[in-house]
Structure 1
């Protein structure tokens, strides 16, 4: 409680009690965040007892880095500590997280340039200069949208992109930064249709067949990925059956020994995007850990199992 006869205090007294500058109090008052109670005969600002608590709350909110517009939203609530405060702080926390991620990418990029041989610096600078920090995955999504079967339903495309488009780590090491930069360069370089031919599987008739194929492949890749992670050698089983069934269902065929033989031959001749999956594995694998499985390594595991099975049947 202020001890002046009118129960009010000056701007200087209020600033001193709150531990802020007079300039700060004036700023909040001018912006409508700290209303004055009255003016003295000389035109000086006077503040009531509630102003001290409000000013301390203002200082606390600003210490969290909240912009003035968000502070105003919080103060518009009666107690200044309800749902709006939670939403505002959560939003600020997300923003700080994004800033920290960007800084970690910048730091790893600097280390990448600093620690590499001098003869490689120009190339590495060119690669990392083409990506932001943290980098966008939009070029990767565009690459896959151009590669996937035409007229593939949006839901099926989105489900595949969720698996195929690698998400950059929040705290990368220099090797992961370099891998993502190389991945970005791979998917953005100009190329002709002849350089990126479509697999034979994309000729399955109609959008429905594409949906069936890629939904089945996603399931098969997930099963095979678990085997890859454990270091299990390719072998016939549930994983391979799911893989073959995806193609058989898309083509309207039955899963027979003859069909498996034809599929093995087709897959052996299909174009491959090995470099994409190699770089993806480098991006997602933590330093010092075994490579994480990708749809590419899962596909290779399944194809190896199919190839060995059909070769044994032919022999």
Structure 2
């Protein structure tokens, strides 16, 4: 192929050697990926021996579906003496794109089967629900809901930390039930977001920037501890998780953790509005088939409220017991 007197070959010979068309070689040359060594007196392109190996590399990269800009970056780095990192980054980016594409296909397939296999009378509603969700699904509507629900002066870092716990990450390979649960979750927050202030806990009304940061940092730690208890199957009870839960509210209110504070907190939490539907659907989205339900901030909160109520009940019973065993009570009982 390179047997000419100057060691160069024509575009046709290079194309034939590489098993591609002349048009393909010309395309890569015109875009600066495959440099020509010179032109003949008749204006024909001529290529050096290195062009064959370079063309083979270009074809391999394109065979992996890497876009031309990525191919150019890899070739430029190779010309500079090193292309390993650039190649690795390009492949990682391409794998990410392919992963998103595969996830989208899996969600579309599950959504289609969800509509196909449901009773005919339910199809219009199912179609409306799943048709409102992108594939792969976006969590933007959930994020918007929580941003409007959280205290308005809450620090950005605390907001981000809360969103990481409160917004479920849809699985890449979902079951039909997970697709339906996420679609219902999207519909729920979309309908509720306009009135999200109505479902805020009363703690928000008194929370400034510092207080909300203290409150939600403490709650996050308490929810993590409660989640560990829930995974072990423990019933709601006193302990480190409950103490951290109460302390989060006490610190935000500038109060101390006393029996009186716990009684008042129990009453406030019982009167707070609830969004159980959100957490129930979130559990359906994130729980893998055949696995116990994964704790969420909502279910951990309920566990801790139940633990607080159990603690208050135990404290009250203990108080009654002490009262009945006091010397005054005993002597009065004996007098009767």
Residue 122 of structure 1: aligned partner = 124
Question: What are structure 1's unaligned runs of at least 5 residues?
Answer: none
1:192: Cα distance to partner?
5.6
Question: What are structure 2's unaligned runs of at least 5 residues?
Answer: 318-336
Match of 1:175 among 170, 174, 177: 177
The 1:8–1:195 alpha-carbon spacing in structure 2 relative to 1, beyond 3 Å, is closer
- CA offsets, 1:245-303, max 9 Å, x none? 11111111111112111111111111011000001111101122111110111011111
Structure 1 residue matching 2:237: 3-state secondary structure: coil
- CA offsets, 1:200-244, max 9 Å, x none? 221334221111111111000000001111211111111111111
After TM superposition, the structure 1 = structure 2 runs for residues 1-315 of structure 1, keeping only pairs within 5 Å, are 2-77=2-77, 78=79, 79=81, 81-189=83-191, 193=195, 196-315=198-317
1:191: Cα distance to partner?
6.1
1:41: Cα distance to partner?
4.4
Aligned pair count reads: 315
The 1:191–1:16 alpha-carbon spacing in structure 2 relative to 1, beyond 3 Å, is closer
Rg (Cα) greater in structure: 2
> Runs of 4+ in structure 1 displaced over 6 angstroms?
none
The 1:193–1:114 alpha-carbon spacing in structure 2 relative to 1, beyond 3 Å, is closer
- CA distance in structure 2 between the aligned counterparts of 1:314 and 1:242, rounded to whole angstroms: 21
1:48: Cα distance to partner?
1.6
- CA distance in structure 2 between the aligned counterparts of 1:140 and 1:43, rounded to whole angstroms: 62
- CA distance in structure 1 between the aligned counterparts of 2:52 and 2:193, rounded to whole angstroms: 66
Compute the TM-score of the two structures, normalised by the length of structure 2: 0.88
Please give the root-mean-square deviation of Cα atoms over the aligned residues, in Å.
1.8
Structure 2 residue matching 1:133: 3-state secondary structure: coil
- CA distance in structure 2 between the aligned counterparts of 1:118 and 1:274, rounded to whole angstroms: 29
